[in-house]
Amino acid sequence: MVQFRCASTLVVLAVGFAVVANAQAEKTFPTDAEINLVLTQTERAIQQYKPLIDIEAAHLGKDDADTIAHDRQVVSGLEMAIKAFKGKPQGFNGPLGFAFFEWLDDASRNAALCAGGSSNQAMSQMMAANKDGAESLLHLAQSCADVSTLIYTVSENAGSLYQRYVAAEQELAEQATEVAQKCTDILKKNSASPKK
């Protein structure tokens, strides 16, 4: 009788794990292709953003060295994540995917701040009758605004993928809990039946 219970338990667990594995295959977790597309989009956006940080640093000077250092740190984090995810795209489907999304959001915001700050400086240069300085700063402001929009668009794509990951993970956990509960109910039912 004990052997029958053990065998029954093993069969139930095997079926339960098979159901969970099948459920996982049916979920809409972000695919490698989708993740790689976001990585390529991010690389292109960063290629446009990095030179702007250097130009911004030249215009701001040492007064805003912390701002420039933070911008470079965010870009460095994104580049590190891109390298890691290219080796293992499914790493996006976890806590590092959320960090990646946050870095994109930070980069977009930082580029928008660059646009705003450069516009303000351009206005000051115009008031000081420095036409060349004003034009240079206006060009930087427009470039920063453009790259901010681009990075924001990429972050929306990454955020959408991450939402899909979270939803699929939650659904999978709910199904696993349901299977575990069914197994528990069967075990309780089998243990409660009278022994012969």
Q: Per residue of the chain (196 residues), give pLDDT as tens.
A: 444 443 344 344 444 544 444 544 456 888 899 999 999 999 999 999 999 999 998 887 777 788 889 999 999 999 999 999 999 999 998 888 899 999 999 999 999 999 998 888 888 877 888 888 788 888 999 999 999 999 999 999 998 888 888 888 888 777 778 777 777 777 777 776 555 5
What residues does each domain of the chain span? 31-167
Distance CA 100, CA 179 (A): 33
For 5, other C-beta atoms within 10 Å of its C-beta total 13
- With beta carbons less than 8 A apart as the criterion, state whether 85 and 35 touch: yes
Helices (H), 29-94: 32-60, 65-87
C-alpha distances in Å from residue 165, one per residue of 10, 21, 32, 34, 112: 31, 16, 12, 12, 28
For 125, other C-beta atoms within 10 Å of its C-beta total 19
Q: CATH 1.20.120: does it fit domain 31-167?
A: yes
Q: Which of helix, strand or coil describes residue 67?
A: helix
Cα 68–Cα 124–Cα 143 angle in degrees, nearest 5 = 50
